[in-house]
Chain A
Amino acid sequence: GAVVSQHPSRVICKSGTSVKIECRSLDFQATTMFWYRQFPKQSLMLMATSNEGSKATYEQGVEKDKFLINHASLTLSTLTVTSAHPEDSSFYICSARGLAARQETQYFGPGTRLLVL
């Protein structure tokens, strides 16, 4: 089946630094990628949807200047958490839908656990 990878899997950083998370589709071309955030004991919350080559669409309440999303190619999307603060500590998960994947299914990456000290 389709595989989506994320890097890094875990990151610890100081408050005020920026963190970049990569999401790659390994065996298919992802025209659309989604970024989710999950706080402990809560469900996944969609942050933004990005289509290759165009600007991401952010969900209400998600700051686009804080969470920079780039989807420059059909296999790579990045999420940059700028000037991270402790409240940004969360589990960030990307998912991808693409040309070779069943349209009704989203393939998830393994997630990136961010801890901001």
Chain B
Amino acid sequence: RKEVEQDPGPFNVPEGATVAFNCTYSNSASQSFFWYRQDCRKEPKLLMSVYSSGNEDGRFTAQLNRASQYISLLIRDSKLSDSATYLCVVKETSYDKVIFGPGTSLSVIP
């Protein structure tokens, strides 16, 4: 089983739609969780951290379920500029180990 798994995608949605991405991780002792976005041929950029209580940043909402080892990202009112690959990132218990999921591609269509 892979350490971090994500929806295979790609997701093609119209502008204004709500889209949800799922992610599961295998190491129950993982400490920190993040969502990154990566535009084509660019480096990943931090979108938001994921906290146990859930957190929201504008149109983006992240949720964490430690019992199920599951992370989600919800994007509301999607924009054309949201088109990118979304990477679920998990930090292992060892301080320096960061694991990237395979990513889910999102295309927002006019």
The residues of A with any CB-CB pair to B shorter than 8 Å are 32, 34, 36, 42-46, 49, 57, 91, 93, 104-106, 108-111, 113
Known: A42-B102, A43-B102, A44-B87. A104 touches B42 (CB 8 A): no
Contacts of B97 in A (CB 8 A): 46, 49
Partner of A43, one of B45, B49, B101: B101
CB-CB contacts of B40-51 with A at 8 A, as 1s and 0s?
011111100100
CA distance A108 to B45 in the complex (A): 7
| Docked complex: B21-44 residues within 8 A CB-CB of A | 32, 34, 41-44
The residues of B with any CB-CB pair to A shorter than 8 Å are 32, 34, 41-46, 49, 87, 91, 96-103
Task: Return the 3 tightest CB-CB contacts between A and B, nearest first.
Answer: A108-B43, A43-B102, A44-B100
Partner of A46, one of B41, B43, B98: B98
CA distance A34 to B92 in the complex (A): 15
CA distance A111 to B44 in the complex (A): 10
Contacts of A32 in B (CB 8 A): 96
Partner of B42, one of A36, A45, A105, A110: A110
Contact across chains for B43 and A110 when beta carbons are under 8 A apart:
yes
Contacts of B45 in A (CB 8 A): 108
Contact across chains for A49 and B43 when beta carbons are under 8 A apart:
no
Known: A32-B96, A104-B32, A106-B98. A44 touches B42 (CB 8 A): no
Known: A32-B96, A42-B102, A43-B100. A105 touches B46 (CB 8 A): yes
Contacts of A46 in B (CB 8 A): 97-100
CA distance A43 to B102 in the complex (A): 4
Contacts of A111 in B (CB 8 A): 41-43
CA distance A32 to B91 in the complex (A): 15
Contact across chains for B96 and A49 when beta carbons are under 8 A apart:
yes
Contact across chains for B32 and A44 when beta carbons are under 8 A apart:
no
| A35 CB → nearest B CB, Å | 12
Contacts of B101 in A (CB 8 A): 43
Interchain Cβ contacts under 8 Å between A and B, 5 examples: A43-B100, A46-B100, A49-B97, A104-B32, A110-B43
